[in-house]
Amino acid sequence: MTKFIFVTGGVVSSLGKGITTAAIAVLLEKRGLRVSIQKLDPYINVDPGTMSPFEHGEVYVTEDGAETDLDLGHYERFSQAPINRYSNATTGSIYSEVIRKERLGAYLGKTVQVIPHITDEIQSAIEQGAQRGTDVAVIEIGGTAGDIESLPFLEAIRQFALKKGKGNACFVHLTLLPYLSASGEMKTKPTQQSVGKLREIGIQPDILVCRCERPMTQEMRDKISLFCNVQPEDVIQEADVETTIYEVPLDLKREGLDDSLVQHLQLEATTSASMEDWEDLRQRFANPEGEVEIAVVGKYIELHDAYKSIYEALAHGGAGHRHKVRFRKIAAEDLFDRGPERLLDGVHGVLVPGGFGERGLEGKILAVRYAREHELPFFGICFGMQAMVIEYARHVAVIEGAHTSEVDPGCKAPVIDLMREQRDVTDKGGTMRLGAYPCRILDGTRAAAIYGRDMVLERHRHRWEFNNDYKRKLEKAGLRCSGIYEARGLVEIAELSERPFYLGVQYHPEYKSKPLQPHPLFAAFVGAAIDYSRGETAAAAAQTLEAEA
């Protein structure tokens, strides 16, 4: 029988509830348990696919092609939990389902209401999200206790836990202990108040995870325990991490969070829980042997979350090589205005991530050109790969009017064009080419050397594609199409094979990179950047030698 952990948040948003949820899964997996994870989001969008990255951060795509909240990225990076379209539900998806059933006549004769119809639907989503064979399902509730929007979700989990009975469900509440420098102390009042909010609606948290800048004293733990009606050993400290979010499982383990959970849920768990792999990872982040700087040239650069998985995947690649990756975040438009010579000088690699629409495209193309002409390692992802193809078509293959029909539908040479099956699509939600597709890697290419396999599954999220009408011309000019989706003959990877790393992919490899298993492409890209930086160091050393002589 599956047991359930509900993770709620209080006081403020952005406390790292997603990371804490993911870390809980890691700790339970370490105790020999099979875990699933789910996120319930109180917003009305059916999924975040139609939201701007500025609004909501990156859209995370699952293997089965769902567009989901970026917290699912944390879940997949940290844990082994199976993540799919049932792993994320929203107010929008719940209401759509209830309204669909109402039209079918499923509630014939009844007035359809938030309680019980919406709350019942939320509960079936929770059952569905707890995948078969799961020992423990961890469910994160988006938003903050006290929000109007999250009320139906909180009511639903209260009912759900009641039905499951004692020992089968538990509540973890993540809160903040703000530090007031004026009085030099950490405050527990907001925590008490947010626990009060939960208790008003009938939820008594079993465990409190307290985010704090400084360590908690025993006195504070006792006080929180007393006022919030939680055992002292269930008051868990989650202090700010020193170097990487991947320290969180180690910190929570040290605090005994897994023991608390095992006890509340009466779980049959193993005791051995070596955290050696995570400890090794922490070391790699804390004591890097060197640093490289990668330019990320995009449209939504002001918001770190907009390219969350990209930055994480680069960091994983770096950790694999025991190197720290510094990001030089460059707005593509800025690059266009101020020129690549100024903005890209000194970087060891250039990455152009995915994107949509006209703004910034010419800046991205300039970045690609600069990388090609300066033999910098280059990695283009989705729109970045499309920019790489346009750049090559314009300046090397000299195809006049080369462009993407996304930006200029009437262009003379749409080297990137809308997929045929996309032409009649009018709905915007969930209608792109989404999810995992197999890609055949061609022998003797850079991609083959990096992957070491001839078939890979990678995740997509786009409407436009490499236009095969220009394939011969581009290949003749030296651009190698090294990965193909054979069922449709679609080009998924393009590269300059003689370069250590000059490669673009139509898919999003960043979704599949994990800290303990860096994605081969990101590992290779960062590796090439490290080599480049050494070459640069060697060149600089030679120069100083020359100068001295």
Q: Say whether residue 197 binds ligand GLN (CB under 6 A).
A: no
Q: Which stretch binds ligand GLN (CB under 6 A): 30-38, 198-206, 299-307, 459-467?
A: 459-467
**67 binds ligand GLN, rule: CB under 6 A:** no
CB-nearer residue toward ligand GLN: 257 or 521: 521
Indicate the residue among 462 and 512 with the shorter CB distance to ligand GLN: 462
Helices in 406-501 by DSSP H: which ranges? 446-451, 471-476
Contact flag: residue 356 with ligand GLN (CB under 6 A): yes
Q: In angstroms, give the least distance from the CB of 492 to ligand GLN.
A: 13
Applying the rule CB under 6 A, the residues between 40 and 59 that interact with ligand GLN are: none
What is the rounded distance in angstroms from the CA atom of residue 339 to the CA atom of residue 343? Answer: 7
Looking at 226-234, 317-325, 349-357, 439-447, which segment touches ligand GLN (CB under 6 A)? 349-357
Residues within window 375-404 making contact with ligand GLN, judged by CB under 6 A: 382-383
Residue type, position 445, single letter: T
Asked if residues 170 and 265 have their Cβ atoms less than 8 Å apart, the reply is: yes
Residue in 382, 391, 403, 481 annotated catalytic = 382
Does 462 contact ligand GLN by CB under 6 A?
yes
- Supply the minimum distance, in Å, between the C-beta of residue 340 and ligand GLN: 21
Q: What is the rounded CA–CA span in Å between residue 102 and residue 389?
A: 49
The pair phi, psi for residue 130, each rounded to 5°, is -75, 100
Residues in the chain: 549
Stretch that binds ligand GLN, among 228-236, 455-463, 473-481, 482-490 (CB under 6 A): 455-463
Active site residue 375: no
Closest approach of ligand GLN to the CB of residue 355, in Å? 5
User: Which residue has the closest beta carbon to ligand GLN?
Assistant: 354
- Nearest Cα neighbor of 384 from 409, 408, 401, 404 is 404
- Cβ atoms of residues 348 and 325 within 8 Å: no
Please check whether residue 524 is in contact with residue 501, taking contact to mean a CB–CB distance below 8 angstroms. yes
* Residue tagged active-site, from 264, 348, 460, 508: 508
Burial of 97 by CB count in 10 Å (0-12 exposed, 13-18 middle, 19+ buried)?
middle
Backbone φ, ψ for residue 342 (5° rounding):
-75, -45
Contact predicate 508/502, CB 8 Å = no
Nearer to ligand GLN, 117 or 461 (CB): 461
Q: Is 210 a catalytic residue?
A: no
Contact string (CB under 6 A) for ligand GLN, positions 405-434, x = contact: -x----------------------------
Closest separation in Å from C-beta 85 to ligand GLN: 19
Q: Which residues contact 511 (CB under 8 A, 6 or more apart)?
A: 60, 61, 73, 76, 309, 459
CB of 40 to ligand GLN, least distance (A): 26
Nearer to ligand GLN, 248 or 331 (CB): 331
Pairing assessment for the beta strands 378-381 and 88-90 based on DSSP bridges: unpaired
Q: Any contact of residue 464 with ligand GLN (CB under 6 A)?
A: yes
Q: Is 510 an annotated catalytic residue?
A: yes
In sequence order, what DSSP letters do the residues of 302-368 get, joined into one string? T-GGGGHHHHHHHHHHHHHTTEEEEEEEEEHHHHHHH-HHHHHTT-SEEEE----SSTTHHHHHHHH
Verify binding: residue 318, ligand GLN, rule CB under 6 A: no
Which residues, numbered 115-144, are part of the site for ligand GLN (CB under 6 A)? Answer: none
How far is it, in rounded angstroms, from Cα 200 to Cα 467?
59
Number of residues that bind ligand GLN (CB under 6 A): 10
- Whole-number minimum distance, CB 391 to ligand GLN, in Å? 15
| C-alpha–C-alpha distance, residues 274 and 41, integer Å | 33
Task: Identify how many contiguous H helices and E strands the chain contains and give both numbers.
Answer: 19, 23
| Interaction of residue 463 with ligand GLN, rule CB under 6 A | yes
User: Of all helices (H) and strands (E), which one includes residue 17?
Assistant: helix 17-30
- Which residues fall within 8 angstroms of residue 194, CB to CB, at 6 or more apart? 10, 11, 144, 145, 146, 173, 175
CA distance linking residue 146 with residue 393, whole number of Å = 55
Strand partners, 290: 323
Q: Which residues are catalytic?
A: 382, 508, 510
Applying CB under 6 A, the residues found at the interface with ligand GLN are: 354-356, 382-383, 406, 461-464
